[in-house]
Amino acid sequence: MPPTTTTTTTTMTKPAGGPIAALRSRRECIRWISSASDTGRPAGGDGAVTARRGRVEVNRGTGGTRLAGKRVWLVGLAALTAGSAGPGCGKRSALPPVDVGAEPGPDAPDGMPDGPAAVVDAGAPDAGSLDAWDGHPGDAEGPLAHVPHATCDVGLAAADAAARVFWSPARPIAGKPLRVIGVAERDLDDPRLVLCDGRERRRLDRVEAWGGPPWGWSAAAAATPAGPFEVCLASRDRPRLACAEVRPAAEDAPRAAPATGIWPIERNWDRGWESFYQAWIARLFLVEPGMTAGWRPLHKALRDPARNLLWGHLGLGEDDPAAAVPVELAPDCGDAPYFLRAYFAWKHRLPFAAHVCKRGDPGLGPECAGDVLTNLSPAWDHVEDPVLRFNRFLGETVARLVHSGTTRSLAGAEVSDFYPLPLSRDALRPGTIFVDPRGHVLILTRWLPGRRDRIGTLYAIDGHPDQSISHKRYARTNYFFTVKTTSGGFKAFRPLAYRDGAFCFAANAELAAAPPAVRYSTEQYEFAGAEAWHARLEQLLNPEPLDPLLVFRDRLQLLVELLAERETAVQVAFEFMERNGWAVIPIPSGPEIFATAGPWEDYATPGRDLRLLALADEVLGFPAQVEDNPGAFRMPEGKTPAEVRAELEGEWERARDELGIEVRRSDGAAGRLTLATFVERLRAFETAYNPNDCPEVRWGAGENDPEYATCAHRAPPAQRRLMESYRLWFAARRQPTAP
């Protein structure tokens, strides 16, 4: 059927509030700040600006002395912008109207060093073309050419996804290696990947398996045959479960960028491509039970050929860090689902689209008028290098226009990028997102089923404002849910098609009649409350009652994992402050400490700390929970609930001093934070999220603690007083912006 076009459209206009409020790109922001070096005052009037990606560089050279007395004010101003705030996870374009104080007078003391050291630098670990600015205008974004939202029947019911086979690179070269990937909706008996060249059938060695659903298998052929051949996924009883023909080329011919758009569209999404996307996500972020991993930024994972099934798929050297222009992906949590989806679509010439929405409200969802950004946008047509064009599109356009608010679409919304799923193992697949209505977003990477000797759990990754990507295992504190709004919960990308020169999306009615793996459902919002929602999910992960000691030890380990993740964030903030001479980062007002932009959002940890405090309460209260609800667990035979509680409390006494993490102090010396010390400092952790404080204070040390002696920096007294007034939120373990 032809696409049905939504008639409502949005006109992009400059925001109110003067010229400064209209500055939305990083380069504009930096050029605006730099203009002050000649005038003694920022050009353009009053207001605030956006610091893209938490990085503001002022290239003053010898003319920097004209900024004496104004630098701290400018740095604070650059971290803020005008506009309505909303819960989020680091989106630069939605910031609170925070008062940074009056501009200092001409004789005010200098707050930052002169010359090259006067750089506010977020310090990406491998800064590239998107992360540095040399003071000269660079590529500018062209017209975006939004298209209107439209719906169509994308053919979900007709697509066969039982099994598919794929290969990489996209253009195989005779004599060079070839990766073969098989994907299936069920596990196979004796799975194998086979290369069929004429009458010869060659089984590939060292097949790697993971998943499911979907289940995935991968193997490599050392040399691609010269003529046309088939690659097949087979099993013990199905020698040709799925096959595909490969026509190799005699020599390499790298692809150029298209005449217009970011990449051309050569095929449409179907259930097979969706299954491949899910299997690719699962393998990219695969960790074994009990292990964790993390990357900063995301492209560190993509540049690992052992993880990325699509490494070098386009033959452009795009994933090789030694290439002239490698891929750069540095998302926060709201960007991450879009960046991964766009990367996969770019590699396979699939359509990509995202609705351009205002952040809206957690209870009412985003405001989406119907404008859609697509991969056919001509915004970067003037960039000739295809990889650089892709980098610019993601880093400068997609990152500016999508945000965590875009993911908070209400269950009944049609003009949206995501739709809600049922609570089932078949639906909660890798690539599914979980939306915390307060603003955070997780991407599922693995469903690990429970068994008698192992806790069933969900593995997920999430992005952070400091550009780090971390693993998260299921815990109620990591999966905040409420039935007061339908904006949160588990969701999938809305199926998309490109037909007859137009983009169109699946409607909810089509999705409601789709197969279970992709079915639209409002089931999540029909539970009596969050407790019932969590109980159902936990029952799916662990159908049989669990040994309480096994559960308790798992929770202790999860607490250690979150502490280790936080230590990484504390050190990233410490390194940023060291590079920038400990110039004070302004603190936002009230609830906006959880949702702002610029250096505070990048390096403060109020959201992380709140989740950590809630998990600590869960761990400490677990023995009593078992005694009060023995029927929810597989109780040891012959023991009363009180005896089991005593056993768990004994386990805590043993583990509290044994388990912990290594932390680094201000002088670089290593220290150790045990669970016992952490619990003793829970009250201090209610105000330990400020990046202006030294690492010792960030880990709860007080003036009477020995490690406090190496602390060289404290947050200003006014900021500490503000944090004391905000303590009640942390003491209640409740973010004030929650619905």
Query: Which range (51-60, 303-312, 532-541) has the least confidence?
Result: 51-60
| Torsional sign, CA 49, 52, 57, 60 | negative
Please enumerate in sequence order all residues whose Cβ is within 8 A of that of 541, keeping only pairs 6 or more positions apart, or say none: 447, 448, 449, 450, 455, 456, 457, 458, 474
The percentage of residues in the chain with a pLDDT greater than 70, rounded to a whole number, is 80
Angstrom distance (rounded) from CA 42 to CA 55: 18
Checking if the pLDDT of 632 tops 60, the result is yes
The confidence score (pLDDT) of residue 363 equals 83
Mean pLDDT score, 143-172: 85
**Beta-strand runs (E) in 247-317:** 294-295
From the list 675, 739, 676, 663, the residue with the least C-alpha distance to 707 is: 663
> What is the pLDDT at residue 634?
93
- For the chain, which residues make up each domain, given as ranges? 18-138, 172-246, 271-541, 548-731
pLDDT band at 711 (very low <50, low <70, confident <90, very high): very high
- Whether the pLDDT of residue 46 is over 50: the answer is no
pLDDT > 50? residue 21: no
Q: Are 450 and 541 in contact (CB under 8 A)?
A: yes
pLDDT greater at residue 452 or residue 557: 557
User: What CATH architecture applies to the domain 172-246?
Assistant: Sandwich (2.60)
The answer for 47, left when phi > 0, alpha when psi is -120 to 50, beta otherwise, is left
| Whether the Cβ atoms of residue 676 and residue 561 lie closer than 8 Å to each other | no
pLDDT in tens, 490-520: 999 999 999 999 999 999 999 999 988 899 9
- Cα 617 to its chain centre, rounded Å, is 26
- Please say if the pLDDT value at position 85 is more than 50: no
Tokens of 458: 């969900």
**pLDDT value for 155:** 80
Confidence category of residue 329, pLDDT binned at 50, 70, 90: very high
Give the other-Cβ count within 10 Å of 104's Cβ: 17
Are residues 281 and 443 in contact, defined by beta-carbon separation less than 8 angstroms?
A: yes
Task: Give the position of tokens 């403060």.
Answer: 604
pLDDT of residue 658: 97
Structure tokens at 379: 């915004």
Residue with tokens 């590079």: 579
pLDDT for res 736: 84
Whether residue 738 has pLDDT greater than 60: no
Torsion-angle region of residue 190: left (phi > 0), alpha (psi -120 to 50) or beta?
left
Q: Which pair of structure tokens corresponds to residue 343? A: 């990367």
- Tokens 């915390």, residue located: 436
- Of the candidates 93, 69, 70, 67, the residue with the CA atom closest to the CA atom of residue 80: 93
Residue 26 has pLDDT above 50, yes or no: no
Whole-angstrom distance, CA of residue 280 vs CA of residue 301: 12
Residues 6+ apart with CB under 8 A from 717: none
Nearest to 195 by CA among 173, 164, 221: 221
Average pLDDT for 215-244:
93
pLDDT at 90: 58
- Least-confidence region, from 144-153, 276-285, 708-717: 144-153
Q: Which of 476, 426, 478 is nearest to 449 (CA)?
A: 426
Beta strands in 63-113 (DSSP E): none
Beta carbons of 217 and 204 less than 8 angstroms apart: no
The whole-number average pLDDT for the span 677-704 is 97
What pLDDT band is residue 737 in, cutting at 50, 70 and 90?
Answer: low
Q: Where are the beta strands (DSSP E) in 627-703?
A: 660-664, 670-674
Mean pLDDT (the chain) is 82
Under 8 Å between Cβ of 471 and 292: yes
63 pLDDT more than 70 = no
Q: Is the pLDDT of residue 704 over 90?
A: yes
Distances (CA, A) of 171 to 62, 179, 302, 345, 475: 51, 12, 19, 16, 43
334 neighbors 91 (Cβ within 8 angstroms): yes
The whole-number pLDDT of residue 107 equals: 40
Antiparallel, parallel or unpaired: β 418-420 and 469-473:
unpaired
- For 407, which DSSP code? G
Residue 216 reports pLDDT greater than 70: yes
Separation between Cα atoms, residue 146 and residue 264, nearest integer Å? 16
Helix (H) or strand (E) holding 571: helix 548-579
Average pLDDT estimate for 179-190:
95
CA-CA distances (angstroms) from residue 123 to 91, 126, 190, 225, 238? 18, 8, 48, 46, 53
Contact 695, 664 (CB under 8 A): yes
- Report the distance separating Cα 6 and Cα 8, nearest Å: 6
What is the number of residues in the chain? Answer: 739
Of 91-105, 192-206, 463-477, 650-664, the poorest mean pLDDT is in 91-105
Q: What is the pLDDT of residue 88?
A: 57
